[in-house]
Amino acid sequence: MSASQEQETPLRDPASTFFQSDRVRRLIIASYWVVILLATPLWWHTTSIERLSLPTAQVQYQAKTLLSFPIAIRLDPSLVQDDPSITGKLQQFFDTKGGQWSGLSIHVEVGSEAGMLSWSAIRFVSHESSRLFEHPWHVFLPHLADILATLLVPYSSDPDREYRIAQYSPRFRLSFTLLNEDAAAGQVITGWDLTNAIRHHVDPIVTALSILHNFTIESQVQFHAPLAFKPQALDNESFGLTPEDLTVFINSAEWTLSSSSSNDPVLHFVLFVPSSVRKPLVILNPDGSLSHSNSFLIPQWGGVMIYNPSDDSSPHRYLSSADLDTLFPAFSNQLLALLGVPGLHADVRISPDDNSLLSDWQLDALLRRRAFENDQGAKDTLRSTVKLVDQIENMPVGQVVRDDVWDALSALKKMHFVSANSLVETMRLSADAATHASRAFFNPGMLALLYFPPEHKYAVYTPLFASAMIPLIAAALREFLAWRRQHQQVANT
Confirm or reject binding of residue 489 to another protein (CB under 8 A): no
Confirm or reject binding of residue 15 to another protein (CB under 8 A): yes
Q: Choose between 150 and 177: whose C-beta lies nearer to another protein.
A: 177
- CA distance readout (Å), 108 to 71, 72, 74, 421: 8, 6, 6, 18
Confirm or reject binding of residue 491 to another protein (CB under 8 A): no
Tell which positions 271-290 bind another protein, by CB under 8 A: none
CB of 384 to another protein, least distance (A): 26
Q: Choose between 15 and 490: whose C-beta lies nearer to another protein.
A: 15
Q: Choose between 236 and 261: whose C-beta lies nearer to another protein.
A: 261
Least Cα distance to 431 among 73, 167, 140 occurs for 167
CA-atom Rg of the chain in angstroms = 37
Q: Choose between 46 and 326: whose C-beta lies nearer to another protein.
A: 46
Collapsing DSSP to helix, strand or coil, 189 comes out as: strand
Least Cα distance to 276 among 198, 378, 189, 399 occurs for 189
CB of 103 to another protein, least distance (A): 33
Q: Which of 88, 115, 191, 343 binds another protein (CB under 8 A)?
A: 191
Site string for another protein, 413-442 (x = CB under 8 A): ------------------------------
Collapsing DSSP to helix, strand or coil, 313 comes out as: coil
Confirm or reject binding of residue 483 to another protein (CB under 8 A): no
Confirm or reject binding of residue 451 to another protein (CB under 8 A): no
DSSP 8-state code for residue 342:
P
Would you tell me the crossing angle of helices 423-441 and 360-391 to the nearest 10 degrees? 30
Site string for another protein, 196-235 (x = CB under 8 A): --x---------------x-xxxxxxxxx-x---------
Q: Which of 108, 166, 188, 440 binds another protein (CB under 8 A)?
A: 188
Q: Choose between 169 and 175: whose C-beta lies nearer to another protein.
A: 175
Tell which positions 320-339 bind another protein, by CB under 8 A: none
Burial pattern 415-433, b for ≥16 Cβ within 10 A else e, equals bbeebeeebebbbbbbbbb
CB of 457 to another protein, least distance (A): 8
What secondary structure does DSSP assign to 250-299, as a single string? --TTTS-----S--S-EEEEEEEE--GGG-SEEEBPTTSSBPS-SEEEET
Q: Choose between 266 and 305: whose C-beta lies nearer to another protein.
A: 266
CA 123 to chain centre: 34
Residue 162 · residue 202 · CB < 8 Å: no
Give residue 426's identity as a one-letter amino acid code: T
* Part of the chain binding another protein (CB under 8 A), chosen from 312-320, 352-360, 362-370, 423-431: 312-320
Residue 42 · residue 49 · CB < 8 Å: no
* Part of the chain binding another protein (CB under 8 A), chosen from 98-106, 191-199, 300-308, 366-374: 191-199
Query: With contacts defined by CB under 8 A, how many residues of the chain interact with another protein?
Result: 74
Confirm or reject binding of residue 29 to another protein (CB under 8 A): yes
Confirm or reject binding of residue 5 to another protein (CB under 8 A): yes
CA–CA gap between residue 412 and residue 374 (Å, rounded): 10
Confirm or reject binding of residue 316 to another protein (CB under 8 A): yes
CB of 315 to another protein, least distance (A): 7
- CA distance readout (Å), 492 to 480, 485, 486, 487, 488: 18, 10, 10, 9, 6
Give residue 351's identity as a one-letter amino acid code: S
Confirm or reject binding of residue 393 to another protein (CB under 8 A): no
Residue 237 backbone zone (phi > 0: left; psi -120 to 50: alpha; other: beta)? left
Confirm or reject binding of residue 464 to another protein (CB under 8 A): yes
Least Cα distance to 368 among 360, 379, 358, 378 occurs for 360
Q: Which of 109, 146, 193, 347 binds another protein (CB under 8 A)?
A: 193
What secondary structure does DSSP assign to 195-222, as a single string? HHHIIIIIHHHHHHTTTT-EEEEEEEEE
Residue 70 · residue 420 · CB < 8 Å: yes
Tell which positions 116-175 bind another protein, by CB under 8 A: 175
Q: Choose between 37 and 346: whose C-beta lies nearer to another protein.
A: 37
CB of 226 to another protein, least distance (A): 8
Confirm or reject binding of residue 463 to another protein (CB under 8 A): yes
Q: Which of 182, 375, 404, 432 binds another protein (CB under 8 A)?
A: 182
Q: Which of 6, 244, 360, 393 binds another protein (CB under 8 A)?
A: 6
Q: Choose between 13 and 287: whose C-beta lies nearer to another protein.
A: 13
CA–CA gap between residue 349 and residue 147 (Å, rounded): 11
Tell which positions 332-391 bind another protein, by CB under 8 A: none
* Part of the chain binding another protein (CB under 8 A), chosen from 4-12, 292-300, 323-331, 344-352: 4-12
Tell which positions 36-55 bind another protein, by CB under 8 A: 36, 39, 42-43, 46-47
What secondary structure does DSSP assign to 63-121, as a single string? HHPPP-EEEEEEE-HHHHHH-TTHHHHHHHHHHH--GGGGGEEEEEEE--GGGGGSTT-
Q: Choose between 275 and 359: whose C-beta lies nearer to another protein.
A: 275
